[in-house]
Amino acid sequence: MNRREFLYGLNASLGSVAFTSLLAQSAYAANAKQRHYRLAKAKRCIFLYMEGGPSHIDTFDPKPKLDELHLNEFHRSGEQQSAMSSGKRYYVKSPFEFQKAGQSGADMSRLWRHLAGVADELCFYRGLQVESVNHPTANYHVNTGNRFGGDPALGAWVNYGLGTENENLPGFVVLPELSHPQGGPSNWSSGFLPPTYQATALRPVGSPLLDIHPPPGVTRTQQRRNLDFLASLNQRHARRHPQHAELAARMRNYELAFRMQMQVPDIVNIDSEPEETRAMYGVGREPTDNFARRCLLARKLVEKGVRFVQLYASTWDSHDYIAKAHASRIHNVDQPIAALIKDLKQRGLLDETLIVWMGEFGRTPDNGIRGGIKYGRDHNPDAMTVWLAGGGVKAGHTIGATDEIGAHAVEGVRPLRDFHVTLLRLLGLDDNKLTYFHAGRFKQLSQFGGGVIKELIA
C-alpha cells in the first residue's frame, strides 16, 4: 500500500474524523508559526466598520476655516466625483462643536461624550487615502484590498496567517446589521483562500446561529454517529475527487459546528453578563442596545480565542441632514465603543487586541444642498480619519493631517495598501510573506506590496 492509498483508506467512520481533526490542528499549528514578528503585541483584532463613510470633519478633524466659508460657492476641479456631486456646490461648516479630550488633547466632536473618556488610548490617523468614491467598490477595497471584490477579506488573511486560538470556534466572525453592507457577504469572504478561512456571520436578531441546539429528541451521541456516517460518505467522494477543496471545508465546518454547540450558547448569551457590565455598554437602553450587544459579544469572542471580529454600523452616508444623521449614529455607537475599550483594558486584553475604527472613505467640505439643517456632505476618498487602539499602536497621538478645509490629506499621506500592511504588521504578520499561490502567482493582501506606516506603531 502506497502513501496515497493509506491516506484514502482512513475514510472509515470515526477514524477518518479523528484523522481529519488532527490534520486541521496540524494546519492551525503551522499557521501559528507564520507569525513573522514575534515581538508584535496584537494577537487578535476587533474591526469597527462604520459603513457609509463617516465625516472626518464632523467627528475627529475640526476645520474652523469652514465656519468662515459656510455656504459660499465652492468650485472643485481635478477630483474624483460620485454621481451625487454634480451641480452647484457650497462650503459646509460642521454643525457640531469640538473639544480637546484627554491629556493628549485629541480632537473630538462634543457628541463623543463616552469616547472622550478613553481618548488617550486612541491613535488617530489623518493621512489615509483610498481609491474608490462609490460604496460597493470602496467597501471591497477597504475589506479585501481589491475594488472589484472576489479577493480574501482582511479577516480571512489574518485567520489564514495566525490560525485559531480555540478549535471550537471560528477564527473569523462578522457581526453585521440586519441589512448587509453594500457589496454583501463578499466583504468577508475567503476569496481564493480555502473556504475554511471565510467569516462566520452571526445573525443580529434572534438566535445568532441557526440550529445551534440539537433538534428535540436528538442526543449528541446520535449527532456524533450521524456525522461519522456522513464523514464516511464524504471521504468516499473525496477519494474519487481529491482536489475538491469545498468538500473538505464543508467537512471541517460540520465538525466545527458540532463542537460549537458546546461553547456558542454561553458566549452569545449577553444576558448572562453582570448587570454592571451590560449597563456600561448600554445594553437594554436605546439607542445603544443593538450595537452594545454586538460590542459586548465581540469582547466575549476574542476572550475565547477568536482571531478577528468585525462589527458593522451603517447609515453614515449623510448627503443631507448631517446634523441629525451623524448625531444619531454617534449616539448609537459612542458608549458601546468606549465600554469595549474599558472592558478589554480591565481584563488585561487591550494590549493584545488591536481595535480599528474606520469607514470606506471620508466626506467633502462641500455639498450641493443649501438651507438650514438640510446640508450634508459628498463622498471623499482623498481625506478621512481612522483611529486605532490597543495592540501596540501609538496611543495618545494624532498622525498626519488634512488641509484647512478637510478636502485632502497633506501630511503623512499613504495609500490604503500601506494601512493594510501596517495592520498585518501590528498582528505580527509580514504582507510579503503572507502569500497564497493562486492563478499562476503568489498573491497577498496588498496586491503588489506596500510599506509599514511606522508612525502608527509604538
In order, the DSSP letters of 214-273 are PPTT--HHHHHHHHHHHHHHHHHHHHH-TT-HHHHHHHHHHHHHHHHHHHHHHHS-GGGS
Which grid cell is 424? 498585518
Q: What percent of the chain has pLDDT over 90?
A: 65
335 or 22, greater pLDDT: 335
| pLDDT at residue 312, as a whole number | 97
Estimate the crossing angle of helix 220-240 against helix 245-267, to 10 degrees.
160
36 or 393, greater pLDDT: 393
Residue 350, CA distances (Å) to 345, 389, 391 in order: 5, 8, 7
Does residue 136 register a pLDDT over 50? yes
In DSSP terms, 438 is beta-bridged to 441
pLDDT band at 362; cut points 50, 70, 90: very high
Non-local CB neighbours of 263 within 8 Å, separated by 6+ positions: 166, 168, 169, 304
Residue 457, helix vs strand vs coil = strand
| pLDDT at residue 226, as a whole number | 64
Q: What b/e string do you get for 147-180 counting C-beta neighbours within 10 Å, with b at 16 or more?
A: bebebbbbbbbbbbbbbbbeeebbbbbbbbbeeb
| pLDDT at residue 78, as a whole number | 57
Residue 277, helix vs strand vs coil = helix
pLDDT band at 76; cut points 50, 70, 90: low
pLDDT band at 374; cut points 50, 70, 90: confident
In tens, the pLDDT along 225-237 reads 665 666 667 677 6
Alpha helices in 12-153 (DSSP H): 13-32, 65-69, 135-144
CA angle 93-96-98, nearest 5°?
105
Mean pLDDT of 312-334: 95
In angstroms, rounded to a whole number, what is the distance separating the alpha carbons of residues 51 and 360? Answer: 7
Q: What is the dihedral of CA 404, 405, 410, 413, to 10 degrees?
A: 140
| pLDDT at residue 254, as a whole number | 53
Mean pLDDT of 116-127: 98
Does residue 414 register a pLDDT over 60? yes
Mean pLDDT of 133-140: 96
Does residue 203 register a pLDDT over 90? no
Choose among 434, 448, 344: nearest CA to 121: 344
pLDDT band at 380; cut points 50, 70, 90: very high
Q: What percent of the chain has pLDDT over 70?
A: 76
| pLDDT at residue 16, as a whole number | 41
Q: What is the largest CA-CA distance in the chain?
A: 83
Residue 55, CA distances (Å) to 179, 415, 440 in order: 22, 19, 41
pLDDT band at 7; cut points 50, 70, 90: very low
Residue 400, CA distances (Å) to 69, 104, 255, 365, 374 in order: 24, 15, 47, 18, 31
Mean pLDDT of 378-388: 96
Does residue 220 register a pLDDT over 80? no
* Overall pTM surpassing 0.75 (yes/no): yes
Q: How many CA atoms lie within 13 A of 227 on its CB side?
A: 25
Contact, 418 vs 145, CB < 8 A?
no
Q: What is the dihedral of CA 441, 446, 450, 451, to 10 degrees?
A: -130
Non-local CB neighbours of 4 within 8 Å, separated by 6+ positions: none
| pLDDT at residue 168, as a whole number | 78
| pLDDT at residue 22, as a whole number | 44
Contact, 120 vs 395, CB < 8 A?
yes
Contact, 295 vs 47, CB < 8 A?
no
| pLDDT at residue 21, as a whole number | 43
pLDDT band at 264; cut points 50, 70, 90: low
| pLDDT at residue 81, as a whole number | 55
Mean pLDDT of 84-107: 88
Non-local CB neighbours of 5 within 8 Å, separated by 6+ positions: none
pLDDT band at 13; cut points 50, 70, 90: very low
pLDDT band at 271; cut points 50, 70, 90: confident
Q: Name all domains of the chain by residue range, CATH numbers in brackets.
A: 34-208+268-456 (3.40.720.10)
pLDDT band at 255; cut points 50, 70, 90: low
Pairing type for strands 362-363 and 386-389 reads unpaired
Which single residue is written with the C-alpha cell 473639544? 99
Does residue 86 register a pLDDT over 50? yes
Mean pLDDT of 323-334: 97
261 or 39, greater pLDDT: 39
Does residue 309 register a pLDDT over 80? yes
Mean pLDDT of all residues belonging to the chain: 85
| pLDDT at residue 11, as a whole number | 44
In DSSP terms, 363 is beta-bridged to 379
Provide the phi-psi class of 78: left if phi over 0, else alpha when psi is between -120 and 50, else beta.
Answer: left
